[in-house]
Amino acid sequence: MAYSLSDINEAVRSDPKGFSQRCDEEFQKKVRTAAEKIAEHREESHIILLSGPSGSGKTTTALKIEDTLNAMGVKTHTVSMDNYFNTIDPETAPRNREGAVDYESPFCLDIELLNRHFTMLDRGETIHVPKYEFARQMRSDIMSQPLHLGHDELAIFEGIHALNDVIIGKNPNAFKLYIAARSSVMDDGKLIFDHAWLRLCRRIVRDYKFRGSNAEFTMKMWSNVRRGEKLYISPYKENADLMFDSSLACEFSVLKPYVVPLLEELPRGKYPVADQILAAYEKIEGMEDTYLAPDSLAREFVGGSTYTY
């Protein structure tokens, strides 16, 4: 799917609030479709595996699906697979070609524990979900939370590696959902804004808003993130029972007031993709995030969300 540059700009100029509302309504239709398919599948497994690359909006989408299933009478719990990261041990951690710890590898996860927990939940047993402390790069079992699923209850496990063969190989009956921002902006058949750039812009703004990091911080990591996607995430998307486009047409405009000043701080020519994004934004109208609803997916990246992450 592609969005029209002229349609986006006209909507921003004429009715930004209505534009935002229409985008959220379209997104909610996708959420409802996913929730209905998951509900139909629940006799097969209590587990939903939700994957997608960085910046795809996995967390908010999972929580929205949870809300929709709950409203349908199917009690649902969302669990971040980040909590299953192993405490980093320099001697055993996976390494990339340069010899550095490969934080994008699925083998940073405690796959054995994950698979054991999936089996236990499907049997009706209680598990204790661990808590990963990123500041200390340590997993805490002391801070773990119990989780037990009733006969008609479900658990969404969301994470970048959820559809990897090392996980779904032992959980073939789980419902599998792949999420990514899959739509670009076109103008008369010409690509204006690539869909992968949207995820990068989401990351740049989120890192700035929630970490206080500049664009250089995100750009330095991005090539390694993309390498990890090509190795560990994209090859497994075909395992999905449902693919979900998480892009919002209004988001390109909403991100502009944040991302353009951050990209302009970078030295020109150092990051070609940054220069390409800036050139694209010369053609796209900006839009204030005040027009976004508190529960909009875009709030995961610009802040002010009603969801607690």
Please give the pLDDT value at position 257: 98
End-to-end CA distance of the chain: 29
Give this prediction's pTM: 0.93
CA distance 131 to 133: 6
Four-residue CA torsion sign, 73, 74, 80, 84: positive
Specify whether the CB–CB gap between 232 and 167 falls below 8 A: no
- How much is the mean pLDDT over the chain? 94
Domain coordinates in residue numbering, the chain: 2-299
Phi, then psi, of 35 in degrees rounded to 5:
-60, -40
Q: Is the pLDDT of residue 135 over 80?
A: no
Q: Is the pLDDT of residue 141 over 80?
A: no
Beta-carbon contacts of 65 under 8 Å, excluding residues fewer than 6 positions away, are: 31, 34, 35, 38, 48, 50, 76, 156
3-state DSSP call for residue 175? strand
Q: Determine the Cα angle at 295 with ends 201 and 292, to 5°.
A: 60
More confident residue, 87 or 70: 70
Question: What mean pLDDT comes out for the span 112-131?
Answer: 95
For residue 139, name the pLDDT band (cuts at 50, 70, 90): confident
For residue 104, name the pLDDT band (cuts at 50, 70, 90): confident
- The pLDDT tens digits for 195-246 are 999 999 999 999 999 999 999 999 999 998 999 999 999 999 999 999 999 9
CATH number of the structural domain 2-299: 3.40.50.300
Output DSSP code: residue 276.
H
